């Protein structure tokens, strides 16, 4: 699709969501308030995913959308995705620096150089907070975590499917390689079932993360060659521009080694995560079935609100 046509499609869908009150613009692309009905759909998507996860007995946990900076740096987010990163800055100066800050504010001047980096960063994914809590042996049979929270990625866009602040539902499996691979194939089937029941026409594809720059292209090629990331793509803006609404990611022993997480036999644990872009699913559902949930097919309503 030509850029102009795609931009028009973004504006059209976002305009309808705003007009219906489901998205409340906040003045910057990709940051929205949500209607109560939107939130009801969002909760339904998360609950449907949780029901699929239930046989694994995940440990339910909740973390704020912030990562300690040491973890943020350890997972190499700024190294690999500097353009998406959200390190947090605040003011630590004295009265003189404060006076200068106020002067700049009054004059509408930039003031970033008066701020200093804090010990926290916005988390770009739901699974990162989990690994740092696991720096010890996982029990025999491994472990599964479930976490649903806001994430931040600095990618302002008029596309209502691409938000800067968006929610992700994740299950994270940490175990032996065989157990993790079995679990990954189970989730490929579960997601296929979920999108099928929601009538969202998803297809899968091997994908890569948006690593920055020339070095990043090599990382992305490696990720694809080993089929480490598989996305469920929904054609919200047509077959040629599908959007990832869920992904299953296999990290090999990457996080096991980084965080010294060991399986019962003492080897570095392998890990994988199954992620649903829950805000993306909500927008895809409104696009597919219209702005009034009362008129959605009963089969879809039954998946969201059984």
Q: Which residues would be at the binding site for ligand 5GP (CB under 6 A)?
A: 125, 153, 155, 161-163, 166, 168, 231, 244-247, 275, 277, 279-280
- Least CB distance to ligand 5GP at residue 128 (A): 10
Cα 93 to Cα 67: distance, rounded to the nearest angstrom? 24
For ligand 5GP, the closer of residues 161 and 180 by Cβ is 161
From the list ligand 5GP, Zn ion, none, pick the one residue 269 interacts with, judged by a Cβ distance below 5 to 8 Å according to partner type: none
Any idea what DSSP says for residue 17? H
What span, in angstroms and rounded, lies between the C-alpha atoms of 152 and 27? 17
Q: Rounded to whole angstroms, how far apart are CA atoms 127 and 147?
A: 8
Q: Select the binding partner of residue 45 from ligand 5GP, Zn ion, none (C-beta < 5 to 8 A, by kind).
A: none
Complex with Zn ion: residue 123 or 287, whichever CB lies closer:
123
DSSP string, 189-215: HHHHHHHHHHT---EEEEE-----HHH
Instruction: In angstroms, give the least distance from the CB of 279 to ligand 5GP.
Output: 4
77 vs 166, beta carbon nearer ligand 5GP:
166
The listed partner (Zn ion, ligand 5GP, none) that binds 67, CB under 5 to 8 Å by sort, is none
- Interface positions with Zn ion (CB under 5 A): 125, 127, 273
State in angstroms the smallest separation of the CB of 124 from ligand 5GP.
Answer: 8
CA–CA distance, 174 with 141 (Å, rounded to integer): 9
Which residue has its beta carbon closest to ligand 5GP? 277
CB of 30 to ligand 5GP, least distance (A): 7
Q: How many CA atoms lie within 13 A of 38 on its CB side?
A: 18
* CB proximity list for 118: less than 8 A, separation 6 or greater: 69, 87, 88, 89, 90
Bridge-based pairing of strands 143-152 and 59-60 is parallel
The nearest distance, CB 210 to ligand 5GP, in angstroms, is 8
For Zn ion, the closer CB: 123 or 293: 123
Strands lying side by side in the sheet with 59-60: 59-60, 143-152, 165-175, 270-277, 243-250, 229-234, 203-207
127 binds, among Zn ion, ligand 5GP, none (CB under 5 to 8 A by kind): Zn ion
**CB of 199 vs ligand 5GP, minimal distance in Å:** 17
């Amino acid at each position: 699709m030509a850029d102009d046509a795609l931009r028009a499609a973004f504006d059209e869908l976002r305009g309808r969501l705003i007009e219906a009150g489901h998205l409340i613009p906040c003045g910057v692309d990709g940051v929205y308030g949500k209607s109560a009905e939107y939130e009801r759909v969002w909760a339904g998507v998360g609950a449907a995913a949780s029901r699929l996860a239930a046989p694994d007995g995940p440990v339910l946990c909740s973390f704020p959308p912030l990562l300690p900076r040491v973890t943020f740096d350890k997972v190499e987010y700024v190294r690999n995705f500097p353009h998406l990163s959200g390190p947090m800055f605040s003011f630590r100066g004295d009265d003189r620096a404060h006076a200068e800050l106020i002067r700049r504010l009054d004059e509408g001047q930039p003031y970033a150089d008066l701020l200093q980096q804090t010990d926290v960063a916005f988390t770009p994914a739901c699974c990162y907070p989990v690994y740092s809590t696991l720096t010890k042996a996982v029990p025999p049979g491994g472990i599964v975590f479930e976490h649903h929270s806001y994430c931040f990625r600095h990618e302002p866009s008029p596309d209502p499917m691409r938000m800067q602040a968006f929610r992700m539902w994740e299950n994270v499996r940490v175990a032996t390689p065989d157990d993790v691979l079995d679990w990954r194939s189970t989730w490929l089937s579960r997601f296929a079932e979920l999108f099928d029941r929601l009538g969202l026409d998803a297809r899968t594809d091997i994908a890569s993360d948006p690593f920055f720059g020339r070095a990043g292209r090599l990382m992305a090629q490696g990720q694809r060659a080993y089929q480490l990331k598989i996305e469920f793509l929904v054609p919200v803006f047509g077959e040629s521009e599908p959007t990832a609404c869920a992904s299953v990611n296999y990290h090999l022993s990457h996080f096991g080694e980084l965080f010294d997480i060991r399986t019962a036999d003492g080897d570095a644990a392998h890990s994988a995560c199954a992620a649903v872009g829950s805000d993306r699913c909500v927008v895809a559902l409104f696009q597919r079935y219209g702005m009034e949930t009362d008129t959605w097919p009963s089969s879809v309503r039954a998946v969201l609100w059984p």
